[in-house]
Amino acid sequence: MAVTVRGLRKTFGERAVLDGVDLTVARGEFVALLGKSGSGKSTLLRVLAGLDGAVEGIADVAGSVSAAFQEPRLLPWRKVWRNVVLGTQCSREQAVRALAEVHLEDRADAWPGTLSGGEAQRVSLARALIREPSVLLLDEPFGALDALTRLAMGGLVQELWRKHGQSVLLVTHDVGEALTLADRVLVLEDGRISAEHRVDLPRPRAERELLALRDTLLAELGVEQHALA
């Protein structure tokens, strides 16, 4: 198991934000975690990322963790490529290669402040992936993007997941997104996993006719095709 969570409890004062969470993520599995705001999903991710230590129960991650957040959280005073490699031993060349995977190799020398929201989020994805994590935590990474960029980003995440094969735990409040991307969808409610659905459908997941029409429409709207693959 890449992620093992058993009876996890996290309290803030009297309130238990996580109240006995049980959850596993297999090696290479893509799991989506759905939940309303306040359901504790971000807290769970923070615990797995090692940002929240004071918990009861087991929260075990095998291997290395990396994360992308709702806001890109790039360092505005470091060039894009430096943002990708800082904190690692990687070279500029490797940074450009990682940026090429998110189709941003030509922005390597840009300042983060000059990127669009979607571009910045892709840099943040490249930054997470260059660390070759065994578990990738995604905390609503498309939450702040517009609908079209969101679709493209979802496609990109799926493409990168297939290529790198790491385990992914995606926190989202978008049901469609979860169903399109994940092997398994969990619902977190009142600090506990309340439902679980395995999605045994081949990817890409959409009815053929709809897909063709959607692709056409998206192409007309300027969303790149490779992002939908």
Partner 1 sequence: MASVTAVADQVRPQRNRPGRTRRRARIPLLRLASPVAIVLIWQLASSTGLLPSRLLASPIAVVRAAGELIANGELTSALGISVVRAFLGFLIGAALGGLFGTLAGLTKVGDIGIDPPMQALRTLPHLGMIPLFITWFGVGEAPKIAIVAFGVALPIYLHVYAGIRGVDRKLLEATRVLGFSRVQRLRHVVFPASTEHVMVGLRLAFASAWLSLIVGEQIAADTGIGYLINNARDFLRIDVILVGLAVYAILGLLTDAGVRLIERRVLRWR
Binding stretches for partner 1 (CB under 8 A): 49-51, 64-67, 69, 71, 73, 75-78, 86-88, 111-113, 127-128, 131, 137
Cα 80 from Cα 101, distance rounded (Å):
14
Query: Residue 52 or residue 183: which is nearer to partner 1 going by CB?
Result: 52
Cβ of residue 173: shortest distance to partner 1, in angstroms?
19
Contact in structure between 182 and 167 (CB atoms under 8 Å): no
Closest approach, Cβ 86 to partner 1, in A, equals: 6
What token pair was written down for 154? Answer: 């979802």
Nearer to partner 1, 78 or 97 (CB): 78
CB of residue 90 to partner 1, shortest distance in Å = 12
Instruction: Dihedral sign for Cα 207, 210, 215, 221, please.
Output: negative
Token duo for residue 31: 């799991």
Instruction: Give me the least distance between CB of 49 and partner 1, in Å please.
Output: 5
Cβ proximity to partner 1, 126 vs 227, nearer residue: 126
Nearer to partner 1 by C-beta: 75 or 219? 75
Which DSSP string do the residues of 70-128 spell out, in sequence order?
SS----TTS-HHHHHHTTS---HHHHHHHHHHTT-GGGTTS-GGGS-HHHHHHHHHHHH
